[in-house]
Amino acid sequence: MNILKRRAFLWQAGMATAGAFMGAAIPLGRRAPYGFISSASAADFLPVAGKDGLAVLNDRPLSAETPPHLLDDEVTPTERHFIRNNGIVPAQMEPATWALRIDGRVRRPMTLSIQDLRDRFEVVTYRLLLECGGNGRARFDPPTRGNQWTFGAVACAEWTGVRLADVLDAAGVMDTAVYTAHEGADSHLSGTPGLLPISRGLPVEKAMDPYNLIAFEMNGGPLHPMNGAPLRLVVPGWPGSCSQKWLTRIWLRDVVHDGPKMTGASYRVPPYPVAPGESVPAEDMKIIHAMPVKSLITRPATGLAFAGRELDVAGHAWAGDTEVARVDLSINYGATWQEARLAPPHNPHAWQRFTARVRFPQAGYYQVWARATDREGASQPFEAPWNPRGYLNNALHHIAVRVT
């Protein structure tokens, strides 16, 4: 059985498994697009070595998210860090022979090995949050194109590497440089040689943020192959697509970078409110910069039934390039709110832990809602503004519980 037939077989088997799990056939399951995988069967559809409990949304390219209750750790374990690929993972990931090229609008172009990075620059370790720009896309109505992420395309691992700014300073950024451009070793899904699946960049001022890393370790060990081994960018606060995996080149440009996934509607939103389903002219779409304020309840898992009147609730909150100022919880659909205890970030660009003991007035069914507010006064909405590609959904997260 060739690989394409095998993938089709696995897809059909996955749809059948989902139907069995749900106790009924999936309506129009045979007409579902190739690469679509029901979340009911996702964890069993395509196991990934070194990844525990992730739900696979797509196998070409591989994309997998983490259920909220598995994101309760303050430092996301490597096995629970989400996967978002755009192309075919490189076959060769040998750290000893890896090379990173720095060129373009720099005075001193250079090619560096991973050992060069370790030897020539200060090695630092930070907890840094990464979130896919499309996290929450499944909650938009009408639906939009792309992986139907629910809540789990987010993580806060501990990354070790060197500051991107230090490397750029060593290369000597020219005054004419306005944007970086990033390239990786992954290949295009078509298999066309030299065609990049993704190449995004940053304004130079953002690139010089001291918490952007060229990372070669994750949680004290090597990077996971699906998270960019052996070398990647980590650019917290902005869409995860800015954090190029399998990093091989950074070049400086005197124009806004126009690589794959930088133009058209990719990682862009309209600068004005639009009606759900409304078409937006391509020339109006603006590149996403900082991610919005957001929170996630990670404990308990939704669906809990318990005896008693009090429940300990915990989770994380984050806010792009700024910090979270407060998190509030509601058990009556926003009629009243209770302020949670909020810890400061471990370092800038790490998520913040919130905890609260919630008291329920009587037995019954409840939804516990979380709402974060950042230092600039922006709060999460009940419903996020719709946009054509389903980005930046920071609507309130909630869990369901039953008090018996």
List the domain boundaries for the chain.
3-45, 95-287, 293-403
The per-residue pLDDT for 297 is: 99
Q: How far is it, in rounded angstroms, from Cα 111 to Cα 314? A: 45
* Residue whose C-alpha is closest to residue 13's, from 1, 27, 30: 30
- List pLDDT tens digits, range 244-275: 999 999 999 999 999 999 999 999 999 999 99
Q: Which residues contact 397 (CB under 8 A, 6 or more apart)?
A: 68, 151, 295, 296, 297, 315, 369, 370
Before 239, cis peptide (omega within 30)? no
| Residues written for the chain | 404
Beta bridge partners of 400: 367
- List pLDDT tens digits, range 296-309: 999 999 999 999 99
Contact 59, 158 (CB under 8 A): no
Q: How far is it, in rounded angstroms, from Cα 353 to Cα 327? A: 10
Which class is domain 293-403?
mainly beta
What does the block give as tokens for 378?
């922006």
Q: How far is it, in rounded angstroms, from Cα 134 to Cα 162? A: 28
Rg over alpha carbons for the chain, rounded to the nearest Å, is 22
H helix intervals, 72-139: 114-120
Residues of the chain with pLDDT under 50: 1-46
H/E stretch holding 298: strand 293-299
Residue with tokens 């090379």: 99
pTM over 0.75: yes
Q: Which residues contact 28 (CB under 8 A, 6 or more apart)?
A: none
Residue with tokens 């509601």: 330
The per-residue pLDDT for 97 is: 98
Q: How far is it, in rounded angstroms, from Cα 399 to Cα 337? A: 15
Q: How far is it, in rounded angstroms, from Cα 103 to Cα 170? A: 11
The per-residue pLDDT for 82 is: 98
H/E stretch holding 13: helix 3-22
Give 332: exposed, middle or buried? Use CB within 10 Å, 0-12, 13-18, 19+. exposed
Whether CATH 3.40.50.300 fits 95-287: no
The per-residue pLDDT for 47 is: 66
List phi, psi (to 5°) of 161: 180, -155
